[in-house]
Amino acid sequence: MFGLAKLKFKTKVILVSVIIIIVSMGIVYIRNTTPITVKLIDDWVFVENTDEGNWYYKSNTIYIDDQTNIIKGWVKIVYTENGKQQLLKTYKDDQYKDINRSLRMVSINYQKMEYHENKAVYYSESGNIIGSDELSIKMDDFIPKSVGDKLLVKILKDYGIKR
C-alpha cells in the first residue's frame, strides 16, 4: 500500500512523526483562530464579582428601547457570605437566613446615565422564593466604576450600543 512496505522502520517513524506534527499544528491554528462560543442554557452573562456576590444579567430578557434610550432586563446577584450578612442586617426576618441569590428587574437610561430597580425577588439555597419587593426607588445617577456602571458598559458592549 503506497509503497510503505519498502520503507525502512526509521523512515516510517519519521514520516508518522511529521504527519502528527502537521495535524497538531493545524489543530492549534484552528483553535486559536476560530472563536469558541460558550452559551449557557439559562443565558446568564457574568458582569462582576464583588464582596457582595457575583453579578449577572439574563441576556434573553434584555429589552432595548432606542427611542427612550432605556435598557430593561433581569440582573442576578449570587451572594457571598459577606453579601448574605449585609442583606441580613437589612432584612432581620428569619425567612431570609437561607438567602442565596436575588433577581432584580432594572431599567437603565444609557443617555442620562440613570439606574432604577423596579422589583427584587429573593431566593433560598434550595431555589424557593423567600421574599420580594416592588421597588419605587427613583432613578439614580451611576456611581463611576460601580457594579451598575460596569453592568451598563457590559450591556452596551455586548449589544453594540453607542451613547
Kindly report, residue by residue over 103-112, the tens digit of the pLDDT. 999 999 999 8
Instruction: Detail the DSSP E strand segments found in 87-159.
Output: 99-109, 114-124, 129-134, 140-141
Report the C-alpha gap between 40 and 104 in whole angstroms.
20
Q: H helices of 4-161, where?
A: 9-33, 81-90, 147-158
Residues 6+ apart with CB under 8 A from 152: 71, 108, 110, 113, 115, 142
Residues 6+ apart with CB under 8 A from 121: 102, 103, 104, 129, 131, 132
Q: What is the pLDDT of residues 44-54, one digit of tens each?
A: 999 999 999 99
Q: What is the pLDDT of residues 94-147, one digit of tens each?
A: 788 889 999 999 999 999 888 888 899 999 999 999 988 887 666 677 777 888
CA neighbours within 13 Å on the CB side: how many for 78?
12
The reported pTM is: 0.69
